[in-house]
Amino acid sequence: MAEQQSLDPKLNSAWACTLTNQEGGEVDLIPSIMQLSIFESIYNNSIFGNIIVMDNMGLLEKFAMLGSGKESVTITIETPNEGKDESVFNKKLIINSLRDVTRTGDGTGQTVYTLGFVSPYLVTNNVSRISRSFDAMTTTDIVDYVSRDIMKFGTETGTGFSSLVTNTPSKNPKHIVVPNWKPFELFNFLARNSVSASGQSNYIFFENSAGFHFTTIDELKKAPSIRMLHATEVPLNMVEASPGQGVIISNKTEDFTEIERFNTSKAVVGGMYGGKVITHNILTKEIESYEIDTTEKGSDLGTVNFGEVFDADFVSDSNLGYMSSNYLYGYHDKSEIPHYPRYDQKMMEIRTNNVKFDVPGDSNIFAGDVIEIIIPSQTDQSGEGDPYISGNFLVTAIHHKLNNTEYTMTLECNKDGWDSEVSGDAKSFMGAL
C-alpha cells in the first residue's frame, strides 16, 4: 500500500475494504462506508464486526447482496510502527448478516444498512461437531489436534488468518468423551478445566488480529509493555513539526474513564478473595473440602494483589462449589482440586480496575497485549502519576473504528493489582488539611 504520513495520528493508517459477492464479483466499498467496526477481545472466541453502508449504487440489488454467508469482505489496515516491524491487518471475513436496511424515500435510491461479518473460523466452528474420546492426552495435545485436523487453522489460503499462535503447555493427561460439541465448546471446556504446566489456573481461548490463542492470563501478563500512554488532556510527549504544521501527539488518550476500580460485593460473591470446593464420594460416603484464601503477592501487573491491599478477611463460603470427587479426578490430580476457586478468583480479578479510552488507530496493538498507562496524580505534579492505579494494564478488548475521516480505537484495559503499597500517610490525610 502507498505510504501515508500525517501530522494527525488518526490519519496515519492506510486502509482498504473490498466487498465480494457470492458470484465472485468485487467492489471497493470505501466510498460508501459510514463506519467500519472491528471487535476483538480476550473474552470472545473470535473477532467480528460490522460496516454501516450508505449505498448510492444500488449494491443490494445490482450486486445481489443477501447476507447469506456466501459473501465476504477483505479489510486491510496498515499503520506505521515507529521503525519496528509492522503488523498489517489483512483479513478476509465472512458476511453473515444484513440488517437495519433504511431507504430514504426521496427518490434518490439511497439506502443505509449494516453488514455484519465474522471470522471464517467461526463459520467452520458452527458447522463442525466432535464426538469422540480423548484418552491420556493433555489439554495441549487435544487443542493441537482440534486446531490442526478439525478447525484447520491457517490452512485456508487467502484469508490472512494464521494458525494457532499460542498454545501454553498444560499438565496431567485427561480421559474425556466429547459429546457432539462444537470445537469452540471443547476449547472453552478445556480452558475452564485445565492447569498449565507451571500451575496456572486461568486458561482462556480467544482470537485477536494476530490469530488464535489458547493460553493463560498469567502468560499474557508476562509479556513486556509495548506502549506507554498518558491518561491526560495535556499531552506529555509531543514532537514538534515544521512551523505552522502543529504537533504530533504520540501518547495521549482521549475520553479516559475508570469504569470501575472495585466492587467488593460482586468480588466476594465471585470468589476474588477466596473460595471453597466440597467434593463428595457417593461410594465411600466421604466429603472433603478445599479452601483458597486471598491471592499472594507477586502479580506481574502490579507487585501488590487485591487481597494484600485490602487485607480482606472474607469467608470462603461466599464462593462455594460442589462436585463429585470421582468425576473431578478424571481431570486433575487430587492435589489440584483447588484449581476451580483459583480459576474463579483470577477471572474476577482481571475484570476489576477496568479503564476505557480512545487512542489513534494502531493495527500493531492486539487484545492480549500489555501497555503501560500513567494516570495523572491529583496531588503530585512531578509527572510520575498516581502511584496506585498507574502501571501495566492488560488490553482486554479493542474496538477498531474506521471511516473516511479517521481511524481510532477504543481500548478496554484491566489490571489485577496495584504497583505500590498503601502509604501510611493515608491515615493522616484529614489531619493534614
Report the CATH fold assignment for 125-219.
Phage tail protein beta-alpha-beta fold (3.55.50)
pLDDT over threshold 60, residue 380: yes
Task: Identify the pLDDT of residue 266.
Answer: 83
Buried b (16+ CB within 10 A) or exposed e, 195-234: bbeeebbbbbbbbbbbbbbbbbbbbbbeeeebbebbbbee
Neighbours of 257 (CB within 10 A): 13
**What dihedral do alpha carbons 356, 373, 220, 9 form, nearest 10°?**
70
pLDDT digits over 381-403, tens only? 666 788 888 889 999 999 999 99
pLDDT digits over 50-104, tens only? 999 998 888 888 888 877 788 999 999 988 766 555 667 889 999 999 999 998 7
* Integer Cα distance of 195 and 349 in angstroms: 18
CATH class, domain 9-119, is: mainly beta
Q: Give me the residue spans of the domains in the chain.
A: 9-119, 125-219, 226-261+351-432, 264-348
Q: What is the separation, in whole angstroms, between the first and last Cα of the chain?
A: 59
pLDDT digits over 170-192, tens only? 988 888 889 999 999 999 999 99
CATH class, domain 226-261+351-432, is: mainly beta
Distances (CA, A) of 317 to 102, 193, 273, 333, 387: 53, 21, 11, 23, 33
Residue pair 291/336 in contact (Cβ under 8 Å)? The answer is no
* Integer Cα distance of 402 and 94 in angstroms: 18
pLDDT digits over 212-256, tens only? 999 999 999 999 988 888 887 554 444 333 333 333 345 778 889
Cell digits for 27? 467492489
